[in-house]
Amino acid sequence: MKILDNSGNVKNEKDEHVIIEAGNNKIIVSPADGDHKMEGIVTEYTCKWPEEGKNGKTIIKSQLTDKEKVRNATITIEAVNGKITITLEAPEETTKILLEVEDYETVK
DSSP 3-state of 94: coil
User: Within a domain: residue 35?
Assistant: yes
pLDDT band at residue 12 using 50, 70 and 90 as cut-offs: very high
User: Within a domain: residue 105?
Assistant: no
User: Within a domain: residue 29?
Assistant: yes
Q: Average pLDDT, stretch 75-88?
A: 94
Report whether pLDDT(92) > 90: yes
User: Within a domain: residue 75?
Assistant: yes
User: Within a domain: residue 106?
Assistant: no
User: Within a domain: residue 16?
Assistant: yes
Percent of the chain whose pLDDT exceeds 90: 58
Which residues neighbour 102 within 8 Å (Cβ) at sequence distance 6 or greater? none
The whole model's pTM is what? 0.87
Of 39, 34, 44, the closest CA to residue 65 belongs to: 39
Domain region containing 22: 2-100
DSSP 3-state of 33: coil
DSSP state at residue 8: S
User: Within a domain: residue 108?
Assistant: no
